[in-house]
Amino acid sequence: MLGLFFGKEPWFRAKRFGYGAGLPFKWQGWAVLGFYVLAMIGLALLADNDQAIPTIVTVALMLIVTGIFTVIVRNHTEGGWKWRGL
């Protein structure tokens, strides 16, 4: 099962214009995107509660999760990330 996540096949389409990735087209991409959204919502809810964890820790965790998400998406975008312009 974990082999499905560690392969190098693309999960995200390349953007037609600009730099970066578009929407996922495989279930692994949708799973990673869903996990990212749920992680951000969970961290935002923790930041909203003053007694849970300090805001600076929440922001640091959000940046770490976003960095990990960006690396995964970059490694699994078909054609890689490059400028695609007019």
Q: Give me the pLDDT at residue 3, please.
A: 58
Q: Give me the pLDDT at residue 5, please.
A: 58
What is the Cα–Cα distance from 12 to 22, expressed in whole angstroms? 6
Q: Give me the pLDDT at residue 84, please.
A: 78
Cβ contact 15:74 at 8 Å? no
Q: Give me the pLDDT at residue 45, please.
A: 87
Confidence of residue 49 (pLDDT cuts 50, 70, 90): confident
The answer to whether the predicted template modeling score (pTM) of the entire model surpasses 0.85 is no
Cβ contact 59:40 at 8 Å? no
Among left, alpha and beta (phi > 0; psi -120 to 50; other), residue 79 is: left
Q: Give me the pLDDT at residue 50, please.
A: 67
Tell me the residue type at 65: V
Angle CA(63)–CA(68)–CA(74) in degrees, nearest 5? 120
Collapsed DSSP state (helix, strand, coil) of residue 16: coil
